[in-house]
Chains A and B, each alone.
Chain A
Amino acid sequence: MAKELQLMKGNEAIARAMIASGCDGYFGYPITPQSEVMETLMAEKPWETTGMTVLQAESEMASINMVYGGAATGKKVATSSSSPGISLMQEGLTYLAGAEIPCLIVNVMRGGPGLGTIQPSQSDYFQSVKGGGHGDYQLYTLAPASVQEMYDFVFDAWDIAFKYRNPVLILSDGAIGQCMEKLYTRDFTPRWTEEERRKNAPWGTWGKPATRGHNIITSLELDSAKQEIFNHKLQAKYAEMKEKEVRYEMLNCEDADYIIVAYGSSSRIAMKAMQMAREKGIKVGLFRLITLFPFPTKQLNELSKKVKGMLCVEMSAGQMIEDVRIATECNIPVEHFGRFGGIIPTPGEVLEALENKIVK
């Protein structure tokens, strides 16, 4: 892998990774704080180089349905938006999950509810991993915590999406989207050729050879018995993801008495708070979630048997904490600290919360 070093915003990294990973099409609608995704794509003009389509749709609903149409043919198709725009896409997302269409959705979260603020937030956790749309479905959900991960996770997303025939969500926020950091870019992965697409997406609506029947992409099944069988199949797929595709990072957890659990930009703030705590002689570790679905339930459960308490740090009123409490089976105190509405907590505030709520 040839590496080139650059300084780049998280949003720009998403766009460049789409081009570099052989994405066939992007459909989106501008919204702060993720507008640089489409801005970068438009500036780079990949339709002149890789042949990738980039289109500004008339709305978020149009974008997600364009994703449905494009991705149903087995092409690599993506969209991005921020919280209010992602809410508008929820119908499309449940249809994509129900029709088992691999695709990539990026949410650069901002404060809510409603139009909320344009500042960073993490209050879309429930929406991302507990449905959002209707029906029993899951999106494979990756939470990048750096500009490098914004870039790398786009590549990973295609692997997972096509392996499981499932939509993948990259759940980021305005802080990582707007922040510039060092980035090692990768060599281009060419877009799939027609033959490769047919091989990698044999289920796609790319035409009917004489050797098989029609490929049908739909989320509609009028026969309840068949729908139940299909639901079981989806659940088996999610179970396999839980078994094989959980990702997380543990820092200083070996000797820790207390653990901070966080994801995305909160995990960066938590890392600094951890360092400050260690300087004061408090043995704190950081458990950083990389996948939000599948959730690292087993790993957190094991860790809960070795420590005295956990502090969940989220830029929300407390959403991820519910899954941490389930995972730890209330063995130990698990408390929440968060700022929300677009306010980013400071490392000092996190340390104070840790001392007041957990260490005592």
Chain B
Amino acid sequence: MTEEIIIAGFGGQGVLSMGKILAYSGVMQDKEVSWMPSYGPEMRGGTANVSVIISDERISSPIINQFDTAIILNQQSLDKFEKSVKPGGLLIYDPNGITHEPTRKDINIYKIAATAKAQEMGISKVFNMVVLGGFLKLKPIVAPEFIHKGLEKSLPARHHNLIPQNEDAIEVGKGLIEAVQVL
């Protein structure tokens, strides 16, 4: 099993930390992992993305341009990465702020209204965990107990009291994700 993922959105949406939690969970489950962020000027310009690879084998290139899964959190990232999903691959997006829906018919497209849901829950910070939950529903590549350990490792000790909240958000995400038919 090798899963090559891009997570892309605005800086501040928790893109890098979502990737880190997923990667750390993979480490805890004894998988090979890599986490390769965009850094530098584009980060300062407002968009952020990270490539995460989780595999049973030694990972060759941590730098990739074709993805099994794209998790897309804003329009710029949708425009940039929709074409980079492998045929038969998965695209997950949050419809918040999306004006041009994805159009490809050779990939599986799902949407998850995580921004709206997190606001409704009154804890907008767990937005990224809602999205992660949606992804894990479709591709349970890491088991829940290892996600728990991944959260413990990724979050500083002073934030460990927030772990149950994050795990609840993951569960909410699992129920929220829905398939999109491209006509």
Contact = CB atoms under 8 A, between A and B. Distances in A.
Interface of A: 5-7, 32-33, 117-119, 174-175, 178-182, 265, 268-269, 271-272, 274-275, 344, 346-348
B140 interface: no
Given A179-B35, A179-B36, A272-B61, 7 more contacts: A33-B40, A119-B40, A175-B36, A175-B63, A268-B61, A275-B60, A346-B63
B65 interface: yes
Interface of B: 20, 23-24, 27, 32-37, 39-41, 59-66, 153
Given A7-B24, A118-B40, A182 B63 contact: no
B127 to A, nearest CB: 22
Nearest to B65: A346
Given A7-B20, A268-B62, A178 B36 contact: yes
A179 B63 CA distance: 9
Contacts of B27: 5-7, 182
A7 B50 CA distance: 15
Contact of A271 (B33, B34, B60): B60
B35 A181 contact: yes
B63 A7 contact: no
Contacts of B62: 175, 179, 181, 265, 268
A182 B55 CA distance: 12
Contacts of B64: 272, 346-347
A40 to B, nearest CB: 15
A32 B41 CA distance: 11
A292 B94 CA distance: 47
Contacts of B66: 348
Given A7-B35, A180-B34, A182-B33, A32 B40 contact: yes
Contacts of A33: 39-40
A295 B2 CA distance: 34
Contacts of B37: 178
A178 B20 CA distance: 13
A60 B151 CA distance: 38
Contact of B34 (A5, A117, A181, A269): A181
Contact of B61 (A5, A117, A180, A271): A271
Given A118-B40, A118-B41, A178-B39, A269 B61 contact: yes
A7 B23 contact: yes
Nearest to B50: A180
19 contacts: A5-B27, A6-B27, A6-B153, A7-B33, A117-B40, A119-B40, A175-B62, A178-B36, A180-B23, A180-B33, A180-B35, A182-B32, A182-B33, A265-B62, A268-B63, A272-B64, A274-B60, A346-B64, A347-B61
Given A180-B35, A182-B27, A182-B32, A348 B40 contact: no
A269 B32 contact: no
Nearest to A350: B61
Contacts of B153: 6-7
Nearest to A117: B40
Contacts of B60: 268-269, 271-272, 274-275, 347
A118 B34 CA distance: 21
A274 B58 CA distance: 14
